Structure formats: C-alpha cells, structure tokens
Structure 1
Amino acid sequence: MSRMVNCVLLKKEAEGLTRVPYPGDLGKRVFENVSQEAWTQWVSHQTILMNEYRLSPINPKDRKFLEEEMDKFFFGDGPSAIDNLTPQG
C-alpha cells in the first residue's frame, strides 16, 4: 500500500514519496509533507530554473539557491517568477 501524506502544495491527501528526496532537514520535511505529484511539479520547475539561470547542482552557490527555491516552492509563497521566461500556452 502506498504511503499517503497531506500535501502542502496540493492541499489534499495524496500518495507520498517513497524515499527522502534531498539530504538534511529540508529533505525530511519534503518527505513528510509533499506528495509524489507535487514533487514532480518541483522537478519540472527546478529544471526550468537550472536551464534559465545556467545553474549547476555541483556549484555550492547554485545548490543553495535551489534549496531556497525548493523551500519557497513548497513551504513559502510559491515559486519565484523567472525573469525573461514566457509561459507557454
């Protein structure tokens, strides 16, 4: 049986992640409060951030930025607007 969580992003009970997706306290918090569906949304947003700003997860400064964005995405005011990005539709 799948593990269920009350997802902070979707505001409903949904299937949880199967493992902690990120190290440290932030990863534990995400594991306990974020659904698989919401995590997939974050991964898509993170990919856009990495491509738009040419970020590397190897670079400590870039990794810190992505951690802060992840925290805002799930537990803050939502995703930051991305400069010069035109929504597709």
Structure 2
Amino acid sequence: MTRMVNCVKLGKEAEGLKFPPYPGELGKKIYENISNEAWKMWVNQQTMLINEYRLSPVEPQARKMIEEEMKKFLFGEGAA
C-alpha cells in the first residue's frame, strides 16, 4: 500500500516518499511532509542550481547553499 502524506509544497494529499531523502531532522521533516512528486520537482530545481551556479556538492559552502534553497523550495521562504 502506498504511503500518503499531506504535502505542504503542493497543498494536497499525495504519495509520500519511500524513505527519508536527506539525513537528520530535515530528512525526517521532508519524509513526513513532502510528496514524491514535490521531491522530484526539487531534484530538477537542484540540478538547475548546481549547473547555473557551477556548484560542487562536495564543497561545504555549496552544500549549505543547496540545503538552504531546498528548505525555501519545499517549505516556503521563511522555512527553518
């Protein structure tokens, strides 16, 4: 049976992720509140950011920027 979540990004009930896609508390929050569809939207956005800004995900500064952008994208501008 498919796990359903009330997706805060899409504002509707949708199919949830199969596992937390990110480590720690943020990963748990994403798993509980973000749908599979919204996560796929984020992955596309993340790819565009990495390419546009020529980011290297192995660099701590780039990872921090990507994480902040992910919070904004998935949970809104003032997301913690």
- What TM-score do the two structures reach when normalised by structure 1? 0.84
Structure 2: runs of 5 or more not aligned: none
Match of 1:50 in 2: 50
Residue 24 of structure 1 deviates from its aligned partner by 1.2
- The answer to whether 1:34 aligns with 2:34 is yes
Residue 56 of structure 1 deviates from its aligned partner by 1.2
Larger relative contact order, structure 1 or 2 (CA cutoff 8 Å, min sep 6): 2
**Paired-residue identity, %:** 65
Match of 1:71 in 2: 71
Q: Distance in 2 between matches of 1:28 and 1:52?
A: 28
Count of residue correspondences: 78
Structure 1: runs of 5 or more not aligned: 79-89
Q: Distance in 2 between matches of 1:4 and 1:55?
A: 33
Q: What code does the residue aligned with 2:29 have?
A: R
Residue 77 of structure 1 deviates from its aligned partner by 2.6
Structure 1 segments of 4+ aligned residues over 3 angstroms from their partners: none
CA RMSD of aligned residues (A): 1.2
The structure with the largest helix share of the pair is 2
Q: Which has the larger radius of gyration?
A: 1
Match of 1:17 in 2: 17
Q: Secondary structure at the match of 1:6?
A: strand
Q: Secondary structure at the match of 2:61?
A: helix
